[in-house]
Amino acid sequence: MNILILGSGGREYVFTEKIAESVECEKLFVAPGNAGTAQLAQNINLSLSDFKGIAEFSLKNHVEMIVVGPEAPLVEGIRDYFESDNTLQHIQIIGPGKAGAELEGSKEFAKNFMHRHNIPTAAYSSFDKATLSEGLSYLKTLKPPYVLKADGLAGGKGVVICENLQTAGQSLTQMLKGEKFGAASEKVVIEEFLSGIELSVFVLTDGENYKILPAAKDYKRIGEGDTGLNTGGMGAISPVKFADSTFMDKVESKIIKPTVEGLKKDKIDYQGFIFIGLMNVGGEPFVIEYNVRMGDPETQVVLPRLKSDLLSIFKSMKNKKLNQEDFEISNQTASTVVLVAGGYPESYEKGKVIKGIEDVENAKVFHAGTAQKNNEVITAGGRVLAITGMGDNLEIALKNAYAGANKVCWDDIYYRKDIGQDLLALE
Cβ at position 288, least distance to ligand AMP in Å: 5
Q: Quote the CA–CA distance of 160 and 132 in Å, as a whole number.
A: 17
SS3 314: helix
Residue span 198-217 as binding mask against ligand AMP, x where in contact by CB under 6 A, dash where not: x-------------------
Contact between 191 and ligand AMP (CB under 6 A)?
A: yes
Q: 147 touches which of ligand GLY, ligand AMP, none (CB within 5 to 8 A by kind)? A: ligand AMP
Q: Specify the DSSP element, H or E, that contains 3.
A: strand 2-7
Contact between 28 and ligand AMP (CB under 6 A)?
A: no
Q: How many residues bind ligand AMP (CB under 6 A)?
A: 12
**80-100 burial code (b ≥16 CB/10 A, e <16):** bbbeeeeebeebbbbbbbbbb
Beta strands in 305-408 (DSSP E): 333-341, 364-367, 370-373, 376-379, 383-391
Q: 194 touches which of ligand GLY, ligand AMP, none (CB within 5 to 8 A by kind)? A: ligand AMP
Cβ at position 302, least distance to ligand GLY in Å: 11
Q: Which residues, including other chains, have CB under 8 Å from residue 57's CB and lie 6 or more apart?
A: 4, 29, 31, 44, 46, 63
SS3 sequence of 23-39: CCCCCEEEEECCCCHHH
Please provide residue 14's backbone torsions phi and psi, each rounded to the nearest 5 degrees: -65, -45
Q: Find residue 329's DSSP bridge partners.
A: 306
Cβ atoms of residues 217 and 200 within 8 Å: yes
Among 108, 296, 309, 325, binds ligand GLY (CB under 6 A): 296
Range in contact with ligand GLY (rule: CB under 6 A) among 16-24, 28-36, 128-136, 292-300: 292-300
Among 57, 138, 193, 414, binds ligand AMP (CB under 6 A): 193
Residue span 342-381 as binding mask against ligand GLY, x where in contact by CB under 6 A, dash where not: ----------------------------------------
Among 291, 300, 316, 400, binds ligand GLY (CB under 6 A): 291
Q: Find residue 236's DSSP bridge partners.
A: 218, 336
Contact between 289 and ligand AMP (CB under 6 A)?
A: yes
Please provide residue 332's backbone torsions phi and psi, each rounded to the nearest 5 degrees: -70, 160
Contact between 71 and ligand GLY (CB under 6 A)?
A: no
**Which of 298/325 has CB closer to ligand GLY?**
298
Range in contact with ligand GLY (rule: CB under 6 A) among 37-45, 175-183, 288-296, 342-350: 288-296
CB atoms within 10 A of CB 116: 12
Cβ at position 156, least distance to ligand GLY in Å: 6
Range in contact with ligand GLY (rule: CB under 6 A) among 22-30, 295-303, 341-349, 390-398: 295-303
Contact between 194 and ligand AMP (CB under 6 A)?
A: yes
Instruction: Describe the strand order of the beta sheet including 210-212 as a list of residue ranges.
Output: 210-212, 197-205, 272-281, 284-291
Contact between 156 and ligand GLY (CB under 6 A)?
A: yes
Range in contact with ligand AMP (rule: CB under 6 A) among 2-10, 80-88, 131-139, 188-196: 188-196
Contact between 35 and ligand AMP (CB under 6 A)?
A: no
Q: Find residue 333's DSSP bridge partners.
A: 391
Beta strands in 137-215 (DSSP E): 146-150, 159-162, 187-191, 197-205, 210-212
Q: 122 touches which of ligand AMP, ligand GLY, none (CB within 5 to 8 A by kind)? A: ligand AMP
Among 96, 233, 262, 404, binds ligand GLY (CB under 6 A): 233
Contact between 7 and ligand GLY (CB under 6 A)?
A: no
**Which of 135/233 has CB closer to ligand GLY?**
233
Give the residue from 46, 84, 85 showing the smallest Cα distance to 68. 46
Q: Quote the CA–CA distance of 359 and 379 in Å, as a whole number.
A: 18
**Interacting residue ranges for ligand GLY, rule: CB under 6 A:** 156, 218, 232-233, 291, 295-296, 298
**Interacting residue ranges for ligand AMP, rule: CB under 6 A:** 122, 147, 149, 156, 159, 191, 193-194, 198, 277, 288-289
